[in-house]
Each structure stands twice: as structure tokens, then as C-alpha cells.
């Protein structure tokens, strides 16, 4: 089960017909089970309060944080005869493969969408949507944020944070207007919009395997290092380089149009050249050349950057910067892939 940071009682919604992914409230057995998780979150919270007291720290800002009755009242969810934990559990929303019998996922596994030793497909699908909607071009069309996961039933090491997120929705940042209902409605609309684009993209079995490859490649890999650079640049090349006629300088020619405004236009080609060389040197294990390219990147793209070596080494600050910009670039390419496939094919074959 994968819970989203949106709440309320909703009718089941299909996000992607071809993949069978949908969202809904929880079935009654999960409603009952989740109440124990809510109690656990409160116990952990109370333990933290006692720790603050022992250290003579001010805990006024958290002491009444989890007043569930008050929380339910503010949300307008009060129902006679029901405990606050039950009401909250009934207003949780999950994303899952709800129509496996009609899903293209049967191409991979005829029996089950989520084998027990693999990450749940809904998490990987949600991650793709989140990254695509993060692109600047996607935000112009889909302004509302894609929901993120606040609970994953397969992760036994992660502590519940359902109430923490719900409390945040009631007490947002003072400089940021926020409404829970608007977040729920907007988040669902964004998921539905992206789901329709993904369904439109999935025309053939080859399309399914391409999307599946990308979904798995970008899932659960946020560590900024050489391996991340190698993988992301390889994905970018796969999507924009002509597979039948590779030409010298193709990355430098095609990549700049996807780079963000955070990189000066006059340096777009230089950025593309450095990351192409960096990927190649990483792949060949030429670490002396890798170090030279890192310092070259630092000289041109991090001139005025304040390096705090108590947080990261200079090398890792550089990796952070490169990976951030590469991820932004990949998000733009993925958005174009599902929103205007013909244009991406033209760029690839140019």
C-alpha cells in the first residue's frame, strides 16, 4: 500500500488505463490496520516530547501537535460514533495497480503486478510522474504538484508520518497560502493529466518496454555521484541521439535546448561537452581525467559558489551541482517524450 499526501473521501479514479494504475480510499481491512500505525506515530511523537523535556528544550511548538479530535474537527470530518483514528484512516488515499486484469503490466508478469520482493509499481509510477511534472515546461501546463508518498507498507524501517503531513496541511507556512482540499483536487488532476499522456504514449509493446526501462532506471536513485552521472547521461543519449547514425558533437548540438535558465545560454554547449566527456571517462575508469573535468566544471559553472566543506567535500559539492542540472535536463526530455513524442523523434533523427 502506498499512501499519498492528499486526503478526503473520493470515488475511485483511474490514472492510467493502460497500466491499470488508480487511486482510491482504503478498503475496510486497511482502515482498521492503519489505525495502529497512527497510534504508533503518536507514541513516537510523545517519546520525542519527553526527550525534549529531559534536555530542558522548549517543546511548546510540538506538545499539542497531535490532538486528533481537534485535527478532525478543523478538517470538517467529524462523524458521530467514530474514533478520530478511524475517521482519519477513512480519509486516506492510496495509489495502486487497481486494474491488473486490463494492464500492460501483464507483459512482464502474468500473475501479479507487485511481486513481493520488488518495489511496488505504484511507487515507481508515482516517481515518474513527480519527475516529469517537475520540469519547467510541464509546470506551465500542470501547475499543481503531483502528490508524493507519505507511507509505504513495504518499508518496515520507515516510521509513519501520516499525522505529521496532515498537521502541516492545517498549519502551513505563514507566508504560503494553503488549502488541503485544493491540494487534493489539484494533485488528482495532475495525476490524471499525466496518466492520459502516458496512455497516449503507450501505442506498442516496444513503447511499454521503453517506458518500463526508464521507470526502473530513475527509481530510488538520488545519490549524487559518478554512477548517477553515468546513468542519467546514458538515458539522455538514448532519448535524443540518433541510434542509427551517431555523429560527433551530437550531444553538444542537441542537449542545449533542454538546459535550464540556471545555465547561461553562452555556456550551454560547454556544459554539454563536459558532461559527455565526464560520462565517457567514468565509463572507462579514467579517474584522473574525471578529476580534471570536475575542476573544469567548477571553474566555469561554480565560480561564486560558497563551498562549505563541513557539509560536503568540494568534489561532492561539484557532483551535487552536476547531478541536479542533469536531473532537471532529463525531466524536460521525459516531459517532451510523453507530451510531444513526434517533436522528440525529430530531434533524435536530426
Q: Which pTM does this prediction carry?
A: 0.91
pLDDT at site 176: 46
**What is the percent of the chain where pLDDT is above 90?**
72
What is the distance between the alpha carbons of residues 329 and 320, in angstroms, rounded to a whole number? 14
pLDDT at site 64: 62
pLDDT at site 62: 62
Q: Where are the domains of the chain?
A: 2-215, 221-349
Give the Å distances, CA to CA, from 303 to 150, 273, 296, 310, 312.
38, 18, 11, 19, 17
DSSP 138-183: HHHH--SPPP-EEEETT-SSSPP-HHHHHHHHHS--TTS---HHHH
Cβ neighbors of 206 (< 8 A, separation 6 or more) are none
* Low pLDDT (below 70) residues in the chain: 57-65, 171-179, 246
pLDDT digits (tens, 9 = 90+) for 6-39: 999 999 999 999 999 999 999 999 999 999 989 8
Considering only CA atoms, which of 208, 217, 45 is closest in space to residue 124?
A: 217
Phi, psi (deg, nearest 5) at residue 23: -125, 155
Q: How many CB atoms lie within 10 A of CB 220?
A: 10
List the beta bridge partners of residue 4.
Answer: 149
Q: Would you give the DSSP letter of residue 256?
A: G
Amino acid at each position: 500500500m502506498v499512501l499519498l499526501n492528499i486526503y478526503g473521501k473520493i470515488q475511485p479514479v483511474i490514472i492510467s488505463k493502460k497500466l491499470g494504475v488508480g487511486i482510491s480510499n482504503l478498503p475496510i481491512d486497511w482502515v482498521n490496520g492503519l489505525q495502529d500505525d497512527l497510534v504508533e506515530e503518536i507514541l513516537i511523537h510523545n517519546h520525542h516530547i519527553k526527550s525534549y523535556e529531559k534536555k530542558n528544550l522548549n517543546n511548546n511548538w510540538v506538545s499539542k501537535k497531535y490532538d486528533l479530535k481537534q485535527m478532525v474537527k478543523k478538517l470538517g470530518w467529524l462523524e458521530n460514533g467514530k474514533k478520530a483514528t478511524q475517521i482519519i484512516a477513512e480519509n486516506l488515499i492510496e495509489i495502486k495497480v487497481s486494474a491488473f486484469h486490463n494492464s500492460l503490466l501483464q507483459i512482464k508478469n502474468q500473475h501479479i503486478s507487485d511481486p513481493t520482493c520488488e518495489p511496488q509499481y505504484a511507487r515507481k509510477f508515482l516517481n515518474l510522474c513527480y519527475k516529469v511534472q517537475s520540469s519547467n515546461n510541464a509546470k506551465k501546463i500542470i501547475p499543481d504538484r503531483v502528490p508524493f508518498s507519505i507511507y509505504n507498507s513495504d518499508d518496515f524501517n520507515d516510521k509513519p508520518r501520516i499525522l505529521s503531513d496532515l498537521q502541516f496541511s492545517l498549519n502551513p507556512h505563514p507566508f504560503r497560502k494553503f488549502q488541503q482540499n485544493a491540494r487534493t483536487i489539484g494533485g488528482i488532476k495532475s495525476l490524471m493529466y499525466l496518466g492520459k499522456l502516458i496512455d497516449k504514449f503507450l501505442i506498442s509493446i516496444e513503447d511499454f518496454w521503453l517506458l518500463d526501462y526508464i521507470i526502473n532506471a530513475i527509481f530510488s536513485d538520488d545519490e549524487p555521484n559518478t554512477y548517477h552521472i553515468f546513468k542519467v547521461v546514458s538515458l539522455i543519449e538514448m532519448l535524443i541521439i540518433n541510434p542509427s547514425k551517431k555523429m560527433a558533437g551530437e550531444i553538444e548540438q542537441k542537449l542545449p535546448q533542454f538546459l535550464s535558465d540556471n545555465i547561461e545560454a553562452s555556456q550551454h554547449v560547454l556544459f554539454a561537452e563536459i558532461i559527455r566527456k565526464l560520462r565517457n571517462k567514468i565509463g572507462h575508469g579514467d579517474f584522473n581525467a574525471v578529476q580534471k573535468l570536475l575542476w573544469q566544471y567548477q571553474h566555469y559553472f561554480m565560480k561564486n559558489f560558497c563551498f562549505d566543506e563541513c557539509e560536503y567535500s568540494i568534489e561532492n559539492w561539484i557532483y551535487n551541482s552536476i547531478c541536479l542540472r542533469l536531473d532537471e535536463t532529463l525531466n524536460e526530455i521525459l516531459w517532451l517524450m510523453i507530451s510531444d513524442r513526434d517533436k522528440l523523434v525529430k530531434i533524435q533523427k536530426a
